[in-house]
Structure 1
Amino acid sequence: MPDRAKVVQAPSPQPLARMTVATPDLDHDLLAQLLAGELALSRADLKAASQAYDKAMMLSGDPELAGKAVALGIAIHDPEAARRAIDRWQVLGANGAQLAQARAELAVEQGQTDEARHQLSLLLASGDKDAWRMFGRVLIGSRDPALASNLLQSLATPDRLPPDPKAWLAMSQLGEQLGRHAYAQQIADGAMKRFGTAETYAWAAQLKLNNGDRTGGLSLLRQAQGKDPGNIGLRLTYASLLGQTGQYAQASRLLEKGPQNAQTYAMRAALAANAKDNTSLEQVYQQLSQAPADVRNASAYLLGQLAEVLGRKEEALKWYDQVSDDDDHAFDADLRTAILLQDLGRSAEAHQQLAEMQTDYLDQPAQLRRAYEVDADLYLRDKRYAEAANAFSHALQVAPDDPDLLYGRGLAYAEIGKIDLAVADFHHLLKIKPDDIDASNALGFTLADAGRDLPEAERLIAAARAAKPNDPSIADSWGWLQYRLGHLDQAENVLRAAWQSGKDADVGVHLGEVLWKQGKREQAQQVFDEVRRTDPHNSNLQQTLKRLQP
Structure 2
Amino acid sequence: MLSGRSKFKRVRHFVALWVLGAGLAGCAATATRPEAPKTLRTGAQPLDRLQVAIVPPERDLEAQVMAGDFAIANNDLSAAATAYGRAAELTDDATVAARAAELALAVHDQDLAAKALDRWARLGAKPLELAEGRARMALDRGDTPEAERQLNAMIATGDPDAWREFGRTLAMARDAAQAGQLLERLATPQRLPNDSAAWVAMSGLGETLGRHDYARTLGEAALARFHDGNTYAWAAQQKLGAGDRAGAKKLLAKAVASDRTNPRLRLAYATLIAQDGDDKGAARVLAAGPQDPDTYTMRMGLAARANDKPALARLYDEIQNRPDDVQTANAYTLGQLAEILGKLDDALDWYAAVGDDDPRDFDASVRSAVVLHRQGKDDDAHAVVADLETAYADRPDALRKAFGVDAELYMDSGRYADAASAYDKALRVKPDDPDMLYGRGLAYAEAGQTEQAVTDLRKVLAIKPGDVEASNALGYTLADAGRDLVEAQALIEAARAARPDDPSVADSWGWLKFRQGQLDQAESTLRGAWTQRKDADIGVHLAEVLWSRGEHDEARKVLDEVRRIDPKNASLEKTERKLNP
Aligned to 1:246: 277
Aligned to 2:365: 331
- Matching of residue 8 in structure 1 with residue 43 in structure 2: no
Query: 2 CA distance for matches of 1:92 and 1:392?
Result: 63
Aligned to 1:392: 419
Aligned to 1:217: 248
Query: 1 CA distance for matches of 2:366 and 2:387?
Result: 13
Query: 2 CA distance for matches of 1:465 and 1:166?
Result: 54
Query: 2 CA distance for matches of 1:87 and 1:499?
Result: 79
Instruction: Note the 1:130-149 alignment, pairs <5 A.
Output: 130-149=161-180
Query: 2 CA distance for matches of 1:396 and 1:91?
Result: 61
- Deviation string for 1:366-400 (max 9, x for gaps)? 22233233323233xxxxxxxx3333343343246
- How far residue 296 of structure 1 moved from its aligned partner, in angstroms, is 4.0
- How far residue 428 of structure 1 moved from its aligned partner, in angstroms, is 2.9
- How far residue 540 of structure 1 moved from its aligned partner, in angstroms, is 5.1
Match of 1:370 among 398, 405, 422: 405
| Consecutive unaligned residues in structure 1, runs of 5 or more | 342-348, 380-387, 414-421, 448-455, 483-489, 516-522
- Matching of residue 318 in structure 1 with residue 346 in structure 2: yes
Query: 2 CA distance for matches of 1:36 and 1:84?
Result: 19
The one-letter code sitting in structure 1 at the alignment partner of 2:506 is: D
Aligned to 2:539: 504
Query: 2 CA distance for matches of 1:6 and 1:132?
Result: 88
Which one is further off, 315-324 or 456-465?
456-465
Query: 2 CA distance for matches of 1:24 and 1:461?
Result: 77
Aligned to 1:446: 481
- How far residue 46 of structure 1 moved from its aligned partner, in angstroms, is 4.1
Query: 2 CA distance for matches of 1:166 and 1:308?
Result: 41
Amino-acid identity (%):
33
- How far residue 323 of structure 1 moved from its aligned partner, in angstroms, is 0.8
- Matching of residue 257 in structure 1 with residue 288 in structure 2: yes
| Consecutive unaligned residues in structure 2, runs of 5 or more | 1-31, 391-398, 428-435, 462-469, 531-537
Aligned to 2:455: 428
Which one is further off, 171-180 or 298-307?
298-307
Question: Residues 391 and 166 (structure 1 numbering): CA distance in 2 closer, same or farther, change over 3 Å?
Answer: same
Give the match's secondary structure for 2:170. helix
RMSD: 4.0
Output the TM-score relative to the length of structure 1. Answer: 0.74
Q: Which has the larger radius of gyration?
A: 1
Contact residue 510 and residue 526 of structure 2 kept, 8 A: no
Question: Residues 356 and 264 (structure 1 numbering): CA distance in 2 closer, same or farther, change over 3 Å?
Answer: same
The one-letter code sitting in structure 2 at the alignment partner of 1:390 is: A
Aligned to 1:207: 238
Query: 1 CA distance for matches of 2:576 and 2:111?
Result: 90
Match of 2:437 among 381, 387, 402: 402
The one-letter code sitting in structure 2 at the alignment partner of 1:389 is: Y
Question: Residues 89 and 10 (structure 1 numbering): CA distance in 2 closer, same or farther, change over 3 Å?
Answer: same
Aligned to 1:123: 154
- Deviation string for 1:246-288 (max 9, x for gaps)? 3333322222222233322221232334456555445434434
Aligned to 1:530: 557
Output the TM-score relative to the length of structure 2. Answer: 0.71
- Deviation string for 1:9-57 (max 9, x for gaps)? 4277688853646545555555554454444444444444444455444
Matched length: 495
Query: 2 CA distance for matches of 1:27 and 1:505?
Result: 79
Contact residue 417 and residue 443 of structure 2 kept, 8 A: no
Give the match's secondary structure for 2:290. coil
Give the match's secondary structure for 1:230. coil
Q: 4+ residue stretches of structure 1 with deviation over 6 A?
A: none
Aligned to 1:518: none
Question: Residues 117 and 317 (structure 1 numbering): CA distance in 2 closer, same or farther, change over 3 Å?
Answer: same
Which one is further off, 81-90 or 461-470?
461-470
Match of 1:471 among 506, 509, 519: 506
- How far residue 191 of structure 1 moved from its aligned partner, in angstroms, is 4.6
Aligned to 1:177: 208
